[in-house]
Amino acid sequence: MAPKKSTIVLNVEQFIHDIEERPAIWNRNFHCNKAFLEQMWDELSGAHKLPSEVYVLDDGAEVDLDLGNYERFLDITLHRDNNITTGKIYQLVIEKERTGEYLGKTVQVVPHITDAIQEWVERVAQTPVQGSSKPQVCIVELGGTIGDIEGMPFVEAFRQFQFRVKRENFCLAHVSLVPLPKATGEPKTKPTQSSVRELRGCGLSPDLIVCRSEKPIGLEVKEKISNFCHVGPDQVICIHDLSSIYHVPLLMEQNGVIEYLNERLQLNIDMSKRTKCLQQWRDLARRTETVRREVTIAIVGKYTKFTDSYASVVKALQHAALAANRKLELVFIESCLLEEETQLSEPSKYHKEWQKLCESDGILVPGGFGSRGMEGKIRACQWARENRKPFLGICLGLQAAVIEFARSKLGLKDANTTEIDPKTANALVIDMPEHHTGQLGGTMRLGKRTTVFAEGPSILRQLYGNPKTVEERHRHRYEVNPKYVPRLEEHGMRFVGTDVDKTRMEIIELSAHPYFVATQYHPEYLSRPLNPSPPFLGLILASVDRLFHYIQRGCRLSPRQLSDASSDEEDSVVGLAGATKSLRVLKIPNTPKTTKNGISNGCNGSSSTSEGEGACGGVDITNGHQ
C-alpha cells in the first residue's frame, strides 16, 4: 500500500551542495519521514578526492552528511533504511534471485530493480521518525543530475511510482540553478529549461520548480521559466543566497509553498496555527541578523582544507553560539603545522598557526584517524590545559588529551596510542575488542550508546541537566586503556562518564580548569538549531566567561546574557572554583622572545605554571592577558 497522504520527490542539481538550502524544510512542522536516494558511483570511482564527513545515525549506520542536515532541520531521527543507495538495491535484488524468489526469471533493471526501489520507499514511508505515529509526508531526494546514467533506474522507478500512488499523493519539485554571469548580470534560464525538458522526456513533469540563484531574480525571469517549463507562475519558487540558512524556510513560506502543498496534496493543515509554529524559527533567524558580539573558536584538525569534513561540528558550534547570542568566528588550524618539525622546516607557518591558536577564545579538537597531525593535536591540548583556555575534545580529541596528560603529569614520555605506535610501552589508548587489525569495515563502535555519569561534581553533567545517564552517538575503534585510569585520576584527570559496564571511558574533565572537557562520543550528531548540544554550549559559554553564571542560574541564560548590548566588563570574572582570575605565566615557542617588529612569537594568552616545557616551547614571560 502507498503512503496514505503524499510523497514529495526532490530532484536536486549537482550544483546544490548544502541540503539545508533545499526545500526539505517545508515539512519541519509536520510529522515527516524521508528516504534519501544517493548513488555510490562517485565514491567507487574515487571522485571524492577530499574527505567528507561520515554521519552516524542512532542505529550505527554510516551515511552521507546530507542525512545529518535533514535530521537537524526537521528535528527527526532517521535510520539506516532512510539511506537508499544503488549498492543496497542491487544487493537486495541479487539476494532475492539467489533464494529463488524470481523463479528462474531473467533479472532486469525493469521491472526488478525499479520495483525494489518503489517497495523500499513504501516500506520506509511507514516508519515513525517522531514518536510512534506514522509520518504524514515522506520526502524522497533523488540526488544527482537528470541524464546521468547511474540515476536512470531511480528516475524510471519514480515515473512508475507516480501512477502507483495516484496524483494526489505525489508532488515533484525540481531544483535547478539559475546562473548569473558577472559579464552580463542577466540571469540565464536555459539550464533550467534544458533540465526540465530532459526530466519531462523521462516521464516526470515537475509540479514545482525551485530556482537557486546568487541574487534575487525578477518577475520577468520567473514568468519566462513558467512559460517555457509548462508550470504556473506561482509554481516557480525563487531561492536566492541569504545571509543565513535559517531564513530559507521563511522565504519559502512567503512564496506560498505551504498553501500550495496543502491544496495539492490535500493535507488539510490548519493554517491558523502556522504563525505560532514558526515563531521560534523566526526568532532564530532574526537573532542571526542582530547578533554582533563575536566568539572565536579554533578547530585543530587534519582535514581543514575541506570544511565539509567537520560539517556537523561547525553546525553544532553555530547552534551553541546563537543560543548564547554570539556570532561565531571559526579558525581552522592544520594540526601538522603545530608540530616541532614544522618549526624547523617552515617557521613562518608554524608561528602563524600558533598565533591563531593563542588568539582564539576557545579550542576544539575533533575526531579523526591516522598518525598525521596527531602530535600537533597533543600540543594543542597541552597549551589549552596549561593556559586555562576553554577546550573541548571529541573522540580522537579525548585520546590526544589523555596522552598529553600522561606525558606531562605521569612522566610517561613514550605514552601513545596503538593506532600510531602498536609497540609502545605505555599504550594509553588501545584497540577495542571489536576492532580487527587489517579489517576496517564494520569493526567500529557505532551508533547510540549509553554513558553513565560518575558520582561527584561534573560540569558536563550539569549542562545536560544532572541526569544519571545520557545517550550519544559513537564512532571509534580505539579507547582509553582502563589500567592507566587510577594513575590519571590521582594526578587530577577525572573520568566523569563511562559506559554501562564502567570499562570504557566516555568523558574526562579537569577540575582545576575553567572548561577542559573531552568526550569519546560525538555530541555534534544530536545538536539541533533550537536545542544545541550541551558540550558545545559549555565551550561557547566558557569562551566568553559566562559558563559559571549560566550554571549558577540552573543552566539558564539571564536576560543580560542574552542581550547583545551587555559588556564583558560588567561580568564577573570568577572561575568555577570561585577564585578570581589572576596574572599567569605564559609559555611561548623556544625561539627569541620577539620578532623584528617586537611582536611575541605567535603566542598570546594566559597560562598556568607547569613543569618542563610548554606546548609550544620553553621561554617564560609574564602576561596579564585573560
Q: To the nearest 5 percent, what fractions of the chain are helix, strand and coil?
A: 40, 20, 40
Give the three cell numbers for residue 537: 554550549
Question: Got the DSSP string for 129-181?
Answer: SSTTSPPSEEEEEE-S-TT-GGGHHHHHHHHHHHHHH-GGGEEEEEEEE----
CA dihedral 274, 276, 277, 281 (to 10 degrees): 110
Give helix 86-98 / helix 114-124 axis angle, nearest 10°: 110
Of 138, 171, 395, 603, the catalytic one is: 395
Question: Which residues, at least 6 apart from 360, have a Cβ–Cβ distance to it below 8 Å?
Answer: 296, 297, 298, 331, 389
Q: What angle do CA 398, 401, 404 make, to 5 degrees?
A: 150
Burial class (CB in 10 A: 0-12, 13-18, 19+), 1: exposed
329 is catalytic: no
522 is catalytic: yes
170-177 β-sheet, strand order? 83-85, 32-38, 137-142, 6-12, 170-177, 208-213, 236-240
Residue 471 in 3-state DSSP?
A: strand
Of 419, 472, 509, 524, the catalytic one is: 524
DSSP 194: H
Give helix 152-165 / helix 114-124 axis angle, nearest 10°: 60
Of 319, 351, 476, 522, the catalytic one is: 522
524 is catalytic: yes
276 CB neighbour count, 10 Å cutoff: 9
What backbone torsions phi and psi does residue 42 show, to the nearest 5 degrees?
-60, -45
Amino acid at 145: T
Question: Got the DSSP string for 225-253?
Answer: HHHHHT--GGGEEEEE--S-GGGHHHHHH
The alpha carbons of the chain give a radius of gyration, in whole angstroms, of 27
Burial class (CB in 10 A: 0-12, 13-18, 19+), 587: buried
- Cα 397 to Cα 411: distance, rounded to the nearest angstrom: 20
Taking a C-beta distance cutoff of 8 angstroms, is the pair 146, 177 a contact? Answer: no
Question: Omega of the bond prior to 532 within 30 degrees of 0, cis?
Answer: no
Amino acid at 615: A
- Residues annotated as catalytic (active site), given as ranges: 395, 522, 524
